[in-house]
A and B are shown apart, each in its own frame.
Chain A
Amino acid sequence: QVQLVQSGTEVKKPGASVKVSCEATGYTFTSSHIHWLRQAPGQGLEWMGIINPSGVSTSYAQKFQGRVTMTRDTSTSTVYMELSSLRSEDTAVYYCARPRVGDTRDFENWGQGTLVTVSS
């Protein structure tokens, strides 16, 4: 079955960067886009961007342009999301998610989430 397994909890200081990984199993890695979303404590969900693992194409939410980078490693079926210049407002659970089919944007599979805490 499809599984997305994310890296563990991170604690960072303001101004630092964080890199979260998402290892995909149970399907052909290059056949599905992967999206990154986040959820601040007690808040709703916020889309950050998308990466196409079959190539190098990415698209980022305007809010994160210049601060976020999404990459992938096909040899390990892993995608990465790096967020730089962290501030306290970036404290959130970060999720990777896979669409139900093709290039739809309804998310059938989710990682377990990675808590990133930004605190001095």
Chain B
Amino acid sequence: DIQMTQSPSSLSASVGDRVTITCRASQSISNYLNWYQQKSGKAPNLLIYAASSLQSGVPSRFSGSGSGTDFTLTITNLQPEDFATYFCQQSYDVAVTFGGGTKVEIK
């Protein structure tokens, strides 16, 4: 299986901050990388697909970049509703795998 490593595992930030989360794949996955937001007790919500494409309805303060093995999710102008856990997911292999998650907390 392709291993996905996310960092950091948690971070504290303030409203209005710029936040960057990284995800590294154990092998090249081209741009088959997706990002999700998950709030407590809820199912994940797709934010970014194909590394950099914004899912319909997702605010433009979310953006993704990268290809191959290294990827980044950036949230600019962090809003109160953005405090949540974020997961990366590779969809290169039929057996998709996820990163361990990054919890974004209020500073």
Contact = CB atoms under 8 A, between A and B. Distances in A.
Interface of A: 35, 44-47, 50, 59, 61-62, 95, 97, 100, 104-108, 110-113
B44 A45 contact: yes
Interface in B64-94: 87, 89, 91, 94
A59 to B, nearest CB: 6
B96 A47 contact: yes
Contacts, number: 49
Interface of B: 32, 34, 36, 43-46, 49-50, 55, 87, 89, 91, 94-101
Contacts of A108: 46, 55
B49 A106 contact: yes
B94 A112 contact: no
B91 A106 contact: yes
6 tightest Cβ-Cβ pairs between the two chains A and B: A110-B43, A105-B91, A106-B49, A45-B98, A106-B34, A47-B96
B88 to A, nearest CB: 10
Given A47-B96, A100-B49, 10 more contacts: A44-B87, A44-B98, A47-B98, A50-B94, A95-B43, A97-B43, A104-B91, A105-B94, A107-B89, A110-B43
Nearest to B100: A44
A106 B95 contact: no
A62 B97 CA distance: 13
